[in-house]
C-alpha cells in the first residue's frame, strides 16, 4: 500500500502530533472498520497507520482505494519493529469533536456481524447516519456548535398528566412485576388493553429515578412513529426539556437523522423512538428497551445485513444491563415459546410473561362473525349480511373498516380471447392494474406502462381486470352505498389507505386525521390500517379475502395471517364509552371459504394461546423453528441454472466442513418469485437442531463460498448472501 499524505486531503484537519513521534514515520497501528464492498473478502478490519494513539470507537477518515471513507477504530497498538517496515496508508483525519462509540455499541455491532454472517465494517457503517460519512471534522464541529445553542430548561415541577389516570389492575400488576424482576419481559396484552401506557409509565419511572438514563422505544412501521412521537412528546418534554425526545427512522431526511443520532450519542436525548434501525443507535446510558408489536415481520431487515432488530434488542439489553419489554397481542411463536411457564421437567422459557387479557374500562373484544362464502352467489365480493351491517353503522354515524391486503385495482389484466395476461417482462410476476392513473405497474421491479387500448397479443379491445385490490374495492363500496345517507343527510364518504394513496408527503397524516375526526364512514386499506392505530369510532372491521395465506408454502403464513386478523379486529370497539353511547357492539366479520379451519376457530374466541399451542405442536413435530434453527443461502444470476449450480456446488463443497454432519442441507430451488428485474434468484435451505452448530458451519462455509465465486461455477453469479433466521421461505 502507498502512503497518502493528509495534507493533500482538503477540508480534513490532521491529528495533533504526539511527542516523540515523527509525522513522517507514524508509530501507531490502527485496526479500522470500513464499509467494504459486500462479499469482497477483504476481511473485517483494515490496518492503517497513525501518528497518535486513538481510542477504540473513534471515528476517522481513511483512504480506501481512490476514495476517502469514514471508519471506526476497533483497536490501536504501538507499531512493533516487525511491522514497522510495512507501508501502511495513513489516517487522513479524525472526527475528534465526537466522543468515541462505547464498548457496548461496538460489541453489539460485532455480535450482529458475526451472527448474521456479514462484515464488521458493513454493519458498523450502516448503523451510522449517512450524512456523518461525508462530514469533515470542521463541518462536524460547526454542527455541534449550532446544537450547543441553549434550549428552554425542563420544568422540574411539571408532573406527568397521565399519573392522574388510574391504571387497571392488570396494568398495575404488570408494572409491579416489571420493577421487581429482571426480564426480559413479554407483555402479552390484548388490543386495547393499555400496553402503550405500561411502556410510558415504565419509561417515566426510569427517567425519574435516574437523571441520565436513556430509553429506546421501537415500533415496526414508519407510519406509527409520528403518532407515538406526539404522545411521548406531550408526556415528557415539559418534564425533561425540548430535545429530550427524538425519532430515528428511514422516513427522515439525512440532516434530521444526523441530528437525532447526535442527540442520542451525547446523552441529550433521553428517549429515542424509532423503527428497526434504531436498535443500533448510540445510547451510552441506555437502561430500557421497548419493542412494540414485537411479532411484526418489519423488524427483520430484508436488504444488506439481514438482522432481526427484536432479537438484537434482547441481546443488547443483556449486554448493557438494560431491561427489555417485548409487547404484542399476538406474539411471535418464538417469543411465546421463550416465555413459557415452567411445567413438569420443563424449566420454562428465559422470558417473563406479563399477561393483560382484558381491555381498558368496560370494553369488550369484538364479536367475530364468519361468512361462509361457499353459500354465497358466485362472484360475490361483499355478502348481503356484511353490507347490511356496514349500512347500520353508517346510519348511526359509526365507522367501519374493510381490510384487503392487496393494493391496486386488480392483480392482473387479462384477455378472454387469447389468454394474454399483464405479465411483467422483467419479473416472473404480473403487473397490477391501477385504474386511477391507467397504468400497469410491477410491484417487484417498479416497471410501469400505460394500459394498452387492446390486447397486445391478439388485438381484442375487451381486456378486463381479474381479481380485486383495494382501489377496486373502494370503487365497489362507493357504488353500493351511493344511495345511502349519513345521519346529517350527506353522502357516504369512503376513504382508502394503502401504499399508493399515501405516496405523497403528508398524505397519510391527512387521511388519518380525517378518520379520527369522523369525516370517513368506511375505511378501506391494506395492513397499513390493521395495526397500531387507535380509531375510536370504528365499531366494525371486515376481512374480505383472507384465505390465500392458509395454504402458502411458507410455514409462517398461518402465524402472520392470525396476527394480522387479530390486530385488525383490535381496531374495533376501542372506546367503551362511545359504544355505550351509541348503543352499539363491536364486530369483526370474516368472509372465508374455510370457516372450519383451526385458525378461524381460535380467532372466534380471541384465543391466541390455543392457536399458538396448535402451531407449536405442528412445528415441534416437523422440527421447525423455534425447535430448529435455519438459514437461507441465496444466489442471483442472469440464468436460473447458473444460480442453482453455484448453490449446489457450495452444498457439495460443504461436505468437508467439521460441523456438516450436524446441519441438514437441501437442494437449491427457485424463489417463489424467481425472476425480478431480469435477475434469476435461487435459494438453498440449511437447518440444524443446534444454533451453535449452524453458526460454526456458516462461518466455516464463508471462505468456500468466496472461493467458488472466483471459480468457473461462480462466474455468472451476480451476488450471493446468507439470511440467518429467515422470516420468509
The model's pLDDT over 453-499, given as tens digits with 9 standing for 90+, comes to: 999 999 999 899 998 899 999 999 999 999 999 999 999 999 999 88
Residues 498 and 389 both lie in one domain:
yes
Distance CA 295, CA 186 (A): 11
Residues 247 and 222 both lie in one domain:
yes
Q: At 271, is the secondary structure helix, strand, or coil?
A: strand
Residues 76 and 20 both lie in one domain:
yes
- Has residue 453 been placed in a domain? no
- Has residue 459 been placed in a domain? no
- State residue 628's pLDDT score: 96
Contact 138, 168 (CB under 8 A): no
Which range is least confidently modeled, 184-188, 363-367, 468-472?
363-367
- State residue 9's pLDDT score: 36
Whether residue 27 is annotated as binding a ligand: the answer is no
Domain boundary residue, one of 579, 600, 621: 621
Mean pLDDT of 620-649: 96
Domain count, the chain: 4
Residues 286 and 228 both lie in one domain:
yes
Whether residue 76 is annotated as binding a ligand: the answer is no
- State residue 156's pLDDT score: 54
- Has residue 544 been placed in a domain? yes
The model's pLDDT over 500-525, given as tens digits with 9 standing for 90+, comes to: 888 888 888 889 889 999 999 999 99
Angle at 645 between CA 644 and CA 647, to 5 degrees: 65
DSSP code, position 603: H
- Has residue 424 been placed in a domain? no
**Residue 148 confidence class, pLDDT cut points 50, 70, 90:** low
Residues 198 and 327 both lie in one domain:
yes
Inform me whether the pLDDT recorded for 229 exceeds 90.
no
Residues 551 and 603 both lie in one domain:
yes
- Has residue 249 been placed in a domain? yes
Whether residue 415 is annotated as binding a ligand: the answer is yes
- State residue 43's pLDDT score: 67
Inform me whether the pLDDT recorded for 19 exceeds 60.
no
- Has residue 439 been placed in a domain? no
- Has residue 286 been placed in a domain? yes
Question: Model pTM?
Answer: 0.90
Q: At 618, is the secondary structure helix, strand, or coil?
A: helix
Residues 217 and 97 both lie in one domain:
no
- Has residue 461 been placed in a domain? no
* 640-653 and 691-709 helices, crossing angle to 10°: 120
Inform me whether the pLDDT recorded for 547 exceeds 70.
yes
The model's pLDDT over 213-226, given as tens digits with 9 standing for 90+, comes to: 999 999 998 776 67
**Which CATH number fits the domain that encloses residue 719?**
3.30.70.260
Mean pLDDT of 519-544: 88
Domain that holds residue 719: 629-724
Contact 93, 4 (CB under 8 A): no
- State residue 714's pLDDT score: 86
Residues 235 and 254 both lie in one domain:
yes
Domain boundary residue, one of 288, 322, 356: 356
Residues 171 and 283 both lie in one domain:
yes
Mean pLDDT of 412-428: 93
Mean pLDDT of 335-362: 88
Whether residue 21 is annotated as binding a ligand: the answer is no
Mean pLDDT of 378-407: 92
Mean pLDDT of 54-77: 92
Mean pLDDT of 253-261: 92
Q: Which long-range contacts (CB under 8 A, 24 or more apart) does 148-156 make?
A: 151/241, 151/242, 151/243, 152/241, 152/242, 153/241, 154/238, 154/239, 154/240, 154/241, 154/244, 155/238, 155/239, 156/239
Residues 299 and 379 both lie in one domain:
no
Residues 591 and 661 both lie in one domain:
no
Mean pLDDT, the chain, whole residue set? 88
For 56, 110, 501, 510, 511, the CA distances from 506, given in Å and listed in that order, are: 42, 38, 11, 6, 9
Mean pLDDT of 257-282: 94
- State residue 317's pLDDT score: 97
Residues 211 and 284 both lie in one domain:
yes
Amino acid at each position: 500500500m502507498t502512503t497518502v499524505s493528509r495534507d493533500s486531503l482538503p477540508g480534513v484537519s490532521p491529528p495533533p502530533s504526539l511527542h516523540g513521534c515523527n509525522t513522517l514515520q507514524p508509530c501507531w497501528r490502527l485496526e479500522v472498520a470500513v464499509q467494504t464492498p459486500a462479499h469482497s473478502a477483504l476481511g473485517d478490519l483494515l490496518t492503517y497507520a497513525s501518528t497518535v494513539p486513538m481510542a477504540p470507537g473513534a471515528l476517522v477518515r481513511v483512504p480506501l482505494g481512490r476514495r476517502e471513507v469514514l471508519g471506526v477504530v476497533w483497536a490501536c497498538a504501538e507499531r512493533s519493529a516487525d511491522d514497522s517496515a510495512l507501508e501502511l496508508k495513513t489516517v487522513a483525519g479524525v472526527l475528534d469533536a465526537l466522543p468515541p462509540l462505547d464498548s457496548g455499541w461496538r460489541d453489539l455491532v460485532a455480535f450482529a456481524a458475526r451472527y448474521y454472517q456479514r462484515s464488521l465494517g458493513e454493519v458498523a457503517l450502516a448503523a451510522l447516519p449517512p450524512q456523518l460519512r461525508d462530514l469533515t471534522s470542521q463541518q462536524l464541529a460547526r454542527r455541534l456548535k449550532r446544537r450547543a445553542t441553549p434550549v428552554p430548561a425542563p420544568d422540574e415541577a411539571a408532573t406527568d398528566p397521565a399519573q392522574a389516570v388510574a391504571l387497571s389492575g392488570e396494568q398495575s400488576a404488570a408494572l409491579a412485576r416489571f420493577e421487581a424482576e429482571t426480564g426480559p419481559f413479554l407483555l402479552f396484552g390484548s388490543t386495547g388493553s393499555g400496553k402503550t401506557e405500561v411502556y410510558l409509565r415504565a419509561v417515566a419511572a426510569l427517567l425519574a429515578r435516574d437523571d441520565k438514563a436513556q430509553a429506546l422505544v421501537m415500533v415496526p412501521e414508519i407510519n406509527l412513529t409520528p403518532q407515538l412521537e406526539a404522545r411521548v412528546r406531550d408526556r415528557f418534554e415539559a418534564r425533561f426539556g425540548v430535545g429530550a425526545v427524538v425519532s430515528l427512522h428511514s422516513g427522515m431526511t439525512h440532516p434530521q437523522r444526523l441530528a437525532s443520532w447526535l442527540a442520542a450519542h451525547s446523552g441529550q436525548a433521553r428517549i429515542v423512538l424509532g423503527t428497526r434501525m434504531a436498535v443500533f443507535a448510540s445510547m451510552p446510558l441506555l437502561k430500557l428497551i421497548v419493542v412494540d408489536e414485537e411479532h411484526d415481520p418489519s423488524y427483520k431487515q430484508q436488504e444488506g445485513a439481514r438482522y432481526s432488530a427484536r432479537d438484537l434488542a434482547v441481546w443488547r439489553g443483556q449486554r448493557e444491563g438494560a431491561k427489555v419489554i417485548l409487547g404484542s397481542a399476538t406474539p411471535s411463536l418464538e417469543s411465546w415459546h421463550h416465555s413459557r411457564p415452567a411445567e413438569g421437567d420443563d424449566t420454562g422459557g428465559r422470558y417473563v410473561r406479563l399477561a393483560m387479557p382484558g381491555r381498558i374500562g368496560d370494553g369488550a373484544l369484538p364479536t367475530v362473525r364468519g361468512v361462509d362464502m361457499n353459500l354465497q352467489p358466485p362472484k360475490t365480493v361483499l355478502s348481503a349480511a356484511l353490507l347490511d351491517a356496514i349500512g347500520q353503522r353508517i346510519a348511526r354515524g359509526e365507522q367501519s373498516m374493510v381490510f384487503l391486503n392487496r393494493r391496486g385495482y386488480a392483480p392482473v389484466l387479462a384477455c378472454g380471447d387469447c389468454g394474454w395476461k399483464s405479465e411483467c417482462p422483467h419479473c416472473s410476476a404480473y403487473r397490477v392494474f391501477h385504474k386511477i392513473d391507467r397504468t400497469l405497474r410491477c410491484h417487484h421491479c417498479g416497471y410501469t406502462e400505460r394500459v394498452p387500448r387492446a390486447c397486445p397479443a391478439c388485438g381484442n379491445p375487451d381486456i378486463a381486470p381479474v381479481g380485486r385490490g383495494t382501489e377496486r374495492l373502494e370503487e365497489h363500496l362507493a357504488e353500493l352505498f351511493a344511495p345511502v345517507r349519513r345521519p346529517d343527510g350527506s353522502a357516504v364518504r369512503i376513504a382508502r389507505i394503502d401504499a399508493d394513496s399515501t405516496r405523497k408527503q403528508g398524505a397519510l397524516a391527512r387521511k388519518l386525521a380525517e378518520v379520527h375526526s369522523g369525516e370517513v364512514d368506511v375505511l378501506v386499506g391494506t395492513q397499513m390500517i390493521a395495526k397500531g392505530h387507535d380509531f375510536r369510532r370504528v365499531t366494525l372491521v371486515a376481512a374480505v379475502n383472507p384465505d390465500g395465506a392458509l395454504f402458502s408454502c411458507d410455514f409462517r403464513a398461518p402465524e402472520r395471517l392470525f396476527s394480522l386478523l387479530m390486530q385488525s379486529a383490535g381496531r374495533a370497539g376501542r372506546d367503551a364509552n362511545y359504544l355505550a353511547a351509541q348503543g352499539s357492539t363491536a364486530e369483526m366479520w370474516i368472509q372465508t371459504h374455510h370457516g372450519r379451519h383451526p385458525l378461524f376457530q381460535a380467532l372466534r374466541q380471541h384465543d391466541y394461546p390455543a392457536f399458538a399451542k396448535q402451531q407449536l405442536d405442528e412445528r415441534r413435530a416437523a422440527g421447525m423453528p423455534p425447535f430448529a434453527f435455519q438459514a437461507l443461502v441465496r444466489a442471483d444470476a442472469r440464468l436460473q441454472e447458473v444460480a442453482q449450480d453455484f448453490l449446489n456446488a457450495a452444498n457439495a463443497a460443504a461436505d468437508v466442513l467439521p460441523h456438516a454432519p450436524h446441519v441438514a442441507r437441501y437442494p437449491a430451488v427457485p424463489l417463489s418469485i424467481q425472476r425480478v428485474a431480469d435477475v434469476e434468484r435461487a435459494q438453498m435451505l440449511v437447518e440444524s437442531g443446534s444454533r451453535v452448530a449452524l453458526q460454526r458451519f456458516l462461518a466455516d462455509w464463508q471462505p468456500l463460498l468466496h472461493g467458488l465465486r472466483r471459480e468457473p461455477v461462480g462466474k455468472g453469479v451476480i451476488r450471493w448472501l446468507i439470511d440467518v433466521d429467515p422470516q420468509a421461505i
